[in-house]
Amino acid sequence: MVISRVVAESLGLSPNEARIYEALVEHGESGVSEIALFGNIHRRNAYDAIHRLVEKGLCFPILSAGENKYNAVDPDKLVELLSENSERLLKVLPELKKKFAARVAPEEAYIYRGLEGQKNIWRDVLRVGEDSYFIGAKGGWFDPLLAHSNEAFFKEANRKKIKFIQLFDYEVKDQLSDFPDYFPGKLEYRFLDKKYSTDSGIHIFGDYVVTYTGLHIKKLAEDLTFFVIHSKNLAESYRIWFWSMWDSAIPPKSLKR
């Protein structure tokens, strides 16, 4: 299918509706039995889905003395449908955000996983809008698989004037020839001593502490786990420890190549 499940859901279409619309686009004017066959759908389910598509303006009936037939409207209608759904979402989004903010507990712990987990972390950073601190940074945010999301994140972070204060692993300077030129945000950084290099990291922002496992130079493991703790007191403690480590870390100009 050209119309994937995710795309169909964003358009407000059920899987059957998506299959039937696509079948009508491909085959043109068809009866219910033919449509059911094209879409590999039970005839009764096809009939119900067709009527929903008619209500949504994505197909239209062709009346005849025998069995009515149906045809699809121009696919540009999908763009219009998506726009309408986006407008509906934008209307309810402020109230949803208000309810979300109200229910966030003062202290909680949870887990994110994989690249989608990193995108969730970035959304949290932007929502909080405060400076970001990182211990054991390795440029993992610049994994090529995150390129598009990375660009959008830093664009919004720069708009919000979020500063990134990072303690990088020693190896970053040696293995990233373009460091720190590739970093598109407001950056202050130092390097940890080589004997303190690990494959983990700690990210602190606002009232959040995120512990990473499975970090590599400019790459995040696909099974990466993020342990997220929301606690104002703990985050403040981690920032104090961060500055203690910062004072003994290696400034960029002092690092010998």
| Candidate CATH numbers 3.70.10.10, 3.40.50.20, 3.30.870.10, 3.30.930.10; the one for domain 106-254 | 3.30.870.10
Q: Check residue 13 and give its pLDDT.
A: 83
- pLDDT on residue 211: 95
Distance, in Å, from the CA atom of 233 to the CA atom of 254, rounded to the nearest integer, reads 34
Q: What is the 3-state secondary structure (H, E, C) of 18-84?
A: HHHHHHHHHHCCEEHHHHHHHHCCCHHHHHHHHHHHHHCCCEEEECCCCCCEEEECCCHHHHHHHHH
Neighbours of 116 (CB within 10 A): 10
In angstroms, the CA 228 to CA 136 distance is: 16
pLDDT at 257: 43
What CA–CA distance (Å, rounded) separates 169 from 47?
61
5-80: which CATH topology? Arc Repressor Mutant, subunit A (1.10.10)
Per-residue pLDDT tens listing for the chain (257 residues): 556 665 666 677 888 888 888 888 888 888 888 888 888 888 888 888 888 889 888 888 887 667 788 888 888 888 887 787 777 777 777 876 776 666 555 678 899 988 899 999 999 999 999 999 999 999 889 888 898 899 999 999 999 999 999 999 998 887 766 667 778 889 999 999 999 999 999 999 999 999 998 888 888 887 888 999 999 999 999 999 999 999 999 998 755 54
Q: What's the distance, Cα to Cα, between the start and end of the chain in Å?
A: 54
pLDDT at 216: 86
User: How is 88-99 classified by DSSP, letter by letter?
Assistant: HHHHHHHHHHHH
Residue ranges, comma separated, of all CATH 1.10.10.10 domains in the chain are 5-80
Q: Are 50 and 67 in contact (CB under 8 A)?
A: no
**Structure pTM?**
0.60
Residue 81: what are its φ and ψ, rounded to 5°? -65, -40
